[in-house]
Structure formats: structure tokens, C-alpha cells
Amino acid sequence: MTVVKICGIMRPEDAIAAADAEADFVGIIFAPGRRRRSVAQGREIVQKLRAERPEIPAVVGVFADMAADEVNQIVQEVGIDRVQLSGSEPPEYRSLIKSPVIKAVKLTSGLSEDEIMEIIVSAEEYLDPLMDICLVEPHVEGAFGGTGVKVDPEYLTTIRGFTFLLAGGLNPDNVGSVVRDAEPWGVDVSSGVETDGEKDSIKIARFVYQAKRVGGWRL
């Protein structure tokens, strides 16, 4: 069944709504942007989530080009289960992170099939195949996700068959067809489940239902 990550969690109630909808991951952003949370805010979200749901969903901390020691410290202080690297971290950076990793792979427009394959394969070599996963999303200058911009649909045929999370422009109305066509391991959404800039529990529930109803790539 397709794995679902609800990213850009800003309030404890957002995380609990994702848990109630049976999302697999919730993402708290510590990289620059309007959804960025402080360590204290992140800790409050996790504490209130774990009071309701002790284990699932797993909590992902989203970081970009931050010192590895600082990332590891925030992971401990907040109670994060998995680290998402959304910057330009070099391959050797992975060994410094003590948690399982999601590595964001940003695809620009105009790439050839060979170029896409090279990017994905290089990213997979960066990761521990037993613990880590790639996240494929469109490149948007100066942004670390949550833009609502879609991955070029032509790219989805090329990356089909790889194990990856797909992000970019997903919402409750289109996620089913995207899962059917691209067969990702999982999908990642932020702005697509918001209303007026805040997470919408109804949209979260619809998104998770539609993503898991179709199924996609299965273990």
C-alpha cells in the first residue's frame, strides 16, 4: 500500500489529524521557509502526537545544509524518527547522520531520460538501501518543498520502477491518478492539503484515502 507523508506540520493538531487519517509519516520543517518550526515548537508537536499515537506516524525532520552535529542534536531534543535532507549535502554527509534518511532529489525542467536516470542512481548510491529512501520533487529556486509545483509528468515514466517518495503539486483530487501512473513507494504533500495556509483535516483525510485506495508500488 502506498506510503503517505504529510509535510509542513505546524501545529500539534495537524499531526494528530494526519495520524487519525492513517498517514505513515509527518514532516516538521527546520529548514528556512514559512512552515519552519523552532526546536521548542517541534518538541511540543511530537509530545502531543505521541500522547495520542505512541509509534505511528513516524516523525520526519526536514533540514537543509545544516551542520550534521546540529541535525543530530535536534533529532534527539525533538524526538524525530527520520531525517529528510533537502539541501545540497554531499555524499559523505550521510555517514554523519545517526538516523534513517530521506534524501530529496530535485529535478529541473528539460532533463533527458539519461540525465534523470543518472540523478536517481547517484542519489540511491548516496543512501543506505536498508534504511533510506529518495524523495523526488521539482526544483524551485530557493524553496525546500511545499511550493505546489508539479514534477514534469513525462519524468514519471522514466522513474517508474524505482523506490521513491514523490512530491510536488499533489492534492486529494490528483494523487490517485499520479499513484496509478507513477507507482511510487510513497507520496508527500504539504500545500495540497492546506486551506488558507493551514493544514485542513478533511483534505488530509481525503488525500490519504485516495493515495492508499489506489495502492501503487507494494512490498
Q: Which residue has the cell 525546500?
A: 144
* Residue from 7, 14, 24, 188 carrying the catalytic annotation: 7
User: From the first residue on, what is the mean pLDDT of each consecutive set of 10 residues in the chain (219 residues)?
Assistant: 96 98 98 94 98 94 97 98 94 94 87 84 82 82 57 77 88 93 92 96 98 65
Is-catalytic flag, 134? no
> Structural domains in the chain?
3-214 (3.20.20.70)
* Residue from 20, 24, 65, 132 carrying the catalytic annotation: 132
Q: Classify residue 183 as left (phi > 0), alpha (psi -120 to 50) or beta.
A: left
Is-catalytic flag, 7? yes
How far apart, in whole angstroms, are the C-alpha atoms of residue 49 and residue 45? 6
pLDDT of residue 202: 98
